[in-house]
Amino acid sequence: LRGLLDAFDELDRSVREAQQPTGQVRLSAPISFGTARLVPVLTRFARAYPRIRLDVQFTDRMVRLVDEGFDAAVRVGHVEDGTLIARRLCSAELVVVAAPDYLSRHGTPHRPEDLGDHACILDSNFADPGHWQFSQGRSVPVYGRLTFSTADACLRAAEEGLGLAYMPDFVADESLAAGRVVRVLQGAAAEPFGIHALYPPGRHLAAKVRVLVDFLADKLTPKAPD
């Protein structure tokens, strides 16, 4: 009888939580994507779900969700962990940008192979910072005196006219819109890559995690035109 009562209590808690999700959700996400795209969405989520507490960790380290106590993670690029459920949120692509001043002084590259004649700003987060990837599987060697550990730092250096930088479009979007940098080699861009929400499998995904993943998908997934 006691076990039956406990089961009813658990069912009651589940129903109440589904109606009004509550509790803490721990989320991990990459620094650049988190800063550029997630913060505005998460602030809207916090207003929509005041009973949920968010603990968001921005890190470029590949966290172990279950072992480190995370409920979900956002991952950029290929998803390799087959033990987790992956839900596609949106896509992004790698872009090459430079300040108009730099291009007026040094010229504009018209094909990836022209990059050998330019100062390039390298990002040590890439597996091979000295090679930039383009369409048709082309891997082009690049050279430069400046290497940074974040895409945001590479963008700031490009805005200062110190060379060409290579980064995800979500890092450069605001600077492109403001005209601080312009995009080059657009026709040679590599294929877009996916950005996913990952969470552990299980029949009973907590409502607080489900509504967060649903909210991210709704706000980040491009809408089809009417």
Q: Is the pLDDT of residue 34 over 80?
A: yes
Query: How many Cα neighbours within 13 Å face the side chain of 187?
Result: 3
Q: Is 226 within a domain?
A: no
pLDDT tens-digit readout, 183-198? 999 999 999 999 999 9
Q: Report percent pLDDT > 70 for the chain.
A: 89
DSSP state of 129: T
Please state the pTM of the whole predicted model: 0.81
Q: Is 179 within a domain?
A: yes
The domain that holds 41 is classified in CATH as 3.40.190.10
* Res 136: pLDDT: 86
DSSP state of 221: S
* Res 2: pLDDT: 63
Does 135 lie in the same domain as 68? no
Please state the domain count of the chain: 2
Express the helix, strand and coil content of the chain in percent, nearest 5 each. 40, 25, 35
* Res 225: pLDDT: 55
DSSP state of 71: S
Which helix (H) or strand (E) segment is 17 a member of?
helix 2-19
Q: Is 39 within a domain?
A: yes
* Res 77: pLDDT: 83
Does 45 lie in the same domain as 125? no
Does 181 lie in the same domain as 101? yes
Does 137 lie in the same domain as 60? no
Does 76 lie in the same domain as 17? yes
Domain that holds residue 50: 2-92+193-220
Does 70 lie in the same domain as 138? no
Mean pLDDT in residue range 127-156 = 94
Q: Is 129 within a domain?
A: yes
* Res 203: pLDDT: 61
Which helix (H) or strand (E) segment is 89 a member of?
strand 85-92
